[in-house]
Copies of this chain bind each other. A is one copy, B any other.
């Protein structure tokens, strides 16, 4: 997969971003337009080279018959792609530590990006948090998992939420009972956090709506 020239990489990025944006691959002319090129033949050559190098597969004669083999493999470049005025790629940031400033994305803490299904991430501020520690191990949430967080300050009983405790984000199960709030770890080695009366130094950042784990 090496030997891909910078220009070919741009083509590849554009295809990936277009696919991501529209749900189907671009046509030759759309690729040319996207790269600001007036002509198709150069794009054809790039496509042939990319196919020869294994980056894509094609179905000859079929419109938009492009299949990406490695997908979006270049983190850090996809934000630069535009189609007209609109940015093509939309990713959810993976933040390392959650802060009080959320859900404003703390750019300097972004570990990477993860593209995600729209119906999972329908609201704008959704983000990923990489799980640290084993406080939710009995809820089958492990260290290293990506927790998909929907920012919100309220929660229902038994929701798993991101709580900001002493400046650090942890996952807890949320309970509201007789006038107080209990944040319960799913691990007997950890004590629950009780918030009675008015708010202490604990706040709810959001709700965990999904868990993603890579075993590869």
Contacts and interface: CB of A to CB of B under 8 A. Distances in A.
Interface of A: 16, 19-25, 27, 57, 59, 63-73, 80-90, 114-122, 137, 140-142, 150, 160, 208-216
Contacts of A24: 24-25, 64-67
A71 B123 CA distance: 10
A119 B72 contact: yes
**Copies, count:** 2
A215 B158 CA distance: 11
Contact of A87 (B22, B70, B72, B210): B22
A81 B20 CA distance: 12
Contacts of A118: 16, 68, 70-72, 81-83, 85-88, 115
Contacts of A87: 19-23, 118
Given A63-B64, A68-B118, A21 B210 contact: no
Contacts of A72: 89, 117-119
Nearest to A59: B22
A206 to B, nearest CB: 12
A210 B213 contact: yes
A157 B64 CA distance: 41
Q: Which of A86, A122, A215 has the most CB of B within 10 A?
A: A86
A142 B8 CA distance: 41
Contacts of A73: 119
